[in-house]
Amino acid sequence: MTQTSSFIGGRHVPSLHTYENIDPATNRPIGQVSRANADEVDRAVTAAAGAQREWRRSSPEQRSRLLVEVARLIRADRERLAVMESQDTGKPLSQAYADVDVCARYFEFYGHTIESYYGSAIPLGDDMHVYTRREPYGVTGHIVAWNYPLQLIGRAAATSLATGNCAVAKPADETPRTTVRLAELIDQAGFPAGAFNVITGLGAEAGDAVAKHPGIAHLGFVGSTGTGSLIAHAAADRVVPTVLELGGKSANVVFADADIDAAIPSLVRSILQNAGQTCSAGSRLIVHRDVHAEVVEKMAAAFSSVTVGRGTDDPTLGPLVSAKQLDRVSGFLDRLDGGEVVTGGTQPDGLAAELAGGAFFAPTLVNNVDPSSEIAREEVFGPVVVATPFADDDDEAVALANGTDYGLVSAVWTQNLSRAHRVAAEIEAGQVFVNTYGAGGGVELPFGGFKKSGYGREKSIEAFDEYTQTKTVAIKL
C-alpha cells in the first residue's frame, strides 16, 4: 500500500511508524499514513521559520500572483483531489468536487484582496505623522477536522500566506491525503520551500506537538469544543493568539407564514450534507405549531427518497467518517429519552454486501423533542435532526434557538420582514440566514461562533485581521 507522508521544507518525509487509512464505506484500509512525532513537528516549524524570513518581505503583488497560481493548480487537479476527498471522508463525489472548488476559491479570493489590505493613517496633529502597519505573526499552526479537509486547510493556508506568515498544518488522522497534495501544489506554484508544511499523524502525538511548539506564534483549530479548550489552554500557556471554530447545534426557526415548500430542500440539505458531519449543520427544527405537522411530514418524505452508498458513487448520503463516529451517532439514539423517531434511527437497510461493514447511518428525524434533552442540546454530528414546536410568541422561538451552549449558525424562515430583522438580532449566532441556509456561507462571509462555538473569524477580509498584528508608528515632524 502507498504511504501518505509529511511534507516538510518542500519534500516528503516518510516515517518508520505508520497507521492505516480506512475507507469508511467498507471499513477496509486503502493505504498507510506516516505517524509523525514531535521531531518532525520541530523540523516543520524550523522550515517554516526559515521561509518566513524571506516571505515576510514579499510584496502584496508577489503574494497575489502565487496565490492565484495555487488556485489554478487546484482546479487543474480537481478530479484527483475530489476522489481522494471522497474516499477519505466518505462524502458524495459531487460534494467533494464542491470542496475542491471552494478551496481554489479561497486562494483566488485572498490572492485578489491582499493587494487592497492596508494600514491606516491617524490624524493626531499637524506636527505628528501616525500610521499603523499590519504585520504577520511568523509561523502559524493549523489543526483541522476531518469533515471538510480541503476547505478547512485551504482557508487557513490562503489567509496565512496572503498576510506574510508561513504555516505548519496538521490534518485530521482520518483525512490526510488532500492536505499533503495541497502542500505539493503550493510548492509547485513557487512559494519558498517550507512556506507551507504538513505533518501527518495522530492528534494526541503530532497535533499536541503542534499546539505546544514554542516556535508557533499563532494557532488555528477546527474541531470539537472539548479539544478546542485544550488547544486554547496550550496557546494561553505560551500567550499566543488563537482562532477556534468549534461545535454547533444550529437551528432552523420556521414561522407559520414561511413558504414551507421553498424551505424543505434547504432544511433537508442543511442536515444531510456531508452526512450531517458539519459544525454548522441545521440539526434543530424549531417550528410554529400551526405548520409543525406539515414540516415534519414533508421532511420525512424527503428523507425517504435519499440514496445511500459509497461516496465515490455519488449518492445523496455517504457513510460517516469512521466506525467510531457511527458508534457516537448511534449512541444518541440508544440513549433517547422521549420524542418520536419518525424515520431512520438505525443503519440503513439494503446496502450492497461490500458495504455491510461501512459506517452508514440512515437519515433520521426525531419529533417532539424536549429542548432540554441531550439530543437537542449536544452536537450529534450525523444525519440526525430534532424537531420542537413553539406557540405564537416570537420570544419563545428565540429562547429555543438560543437554548444550547453553541452559537454558530441559525436560519429564520418567515415572510415578515420586520420579524426577520428582529429575530436575527436576538439570535446568538455568528451567522443568521433568512429564508435560506448557507451552512457556513460563502468565502466572502465572515464565519465564526458565539459562546462555545469558538471565537475569531475566518473567511472574508476579516480573516486578515486574525492573521496579522497591528503596529503603530508615531513620528514627530
Give the span between the Cα atoms of 407 and 248, in whole angstroms: 6
322: confidence class by pLDDT, cuts 50, 70, 90: very high
Q: What pairs with residue 407 in β-bridges?
A: 450
Spatial neighbors of 116 by CB under 8 A, at least 6 apart, are none
* Stretch (H or E) spanning 473: strand 468-476
| Per-residue DSSP letter, 313 | G
Q: How does pLDDT run across 6-18, given as a tens digit for each residue?
A: 999 999 999 999 9
Give the span between the Cα atoms of 401 and 345, in whole angstroms: 24
Per-residue burial over 150-162, b if 16 or more Cβ lie within 10 Å, else e, is: bbbbbbbbbbbbb
Contact 453, 222 (CB under 8 A): no
**What residues are annotated to the active site?**
245
Is residue 1 pLDDT above 80, yes or no? no
Q: How does pLDDT run across 34-79, given as a tens digit for each residue?
A: 999 999 999 999 999 999 999 999 999 999 999 999 999 999 999 9
pLDDT of 440 reads 60
**Number of helices and strands (H, E) in the chain?**
15, 23
Give the span between the Cα atoms of 456 and 440, in whole angstroms: 14
pLDDT of 439 reads 64
Q: Is the pTM of this model over 0.85?
A: yes
Contact 175, 87 (CB under 8 A): no
Residue type, 267: L
Give the span between the Cα atoms of 64 and 190, in whole angstroms: 12
Q: For 437, phi and psi rounded to 5 degrees?
A: -145, 115
List the one residue out of 213, 186, 211, 158 whose CA is nearest residue 43.
213
Percent of the chain surpassing pLDDT 90:
97
CATH numbers and ranges of domains, the chain? 3-246+453-476 (3.40.605.10), 251-442 (3.40.309.10)
* Stretch (H or E) spanning 276: none
Q: Where are the alpha helices (DSSP H) in 273-306?
A: 289-304
Cα 169 from chain centroid (whole Å): 14
Neighbours of 331 (CB within 10 A): 12
pLDDT of 442 reads 87
Name the 3-class secondary structure at 223.
Answer: coil
Q: How does pLDDT run across 377-410, given as a tens digit for each residue?
A: 999 999 999 999 999 889 999 999 999 999 999 9
Contact 386, 251 (CB under 8 A): no
Burial class (CB in 10 A: 0-12, 13-18, 19+), 477: exposed
Burial class (CB in 10 A: 0-12, 13-18, 19+), 359: buried
| Per-residue DSSP letter, 273 | G
Q: Which residue has the higher pLDDT, 350 or 374?
A: 374
Is residue 33 pLDDT above 90, yes or no? yes
Is residue 309 pLDDT above 80, yes or no? yes
List the one residue out of 222, 213, 218, 215 whose CA is nearest residue 171.
222
Q: How does pLDDT run across 93-107, given as a tens digit for each residue?
A: 999 999 999 999 999
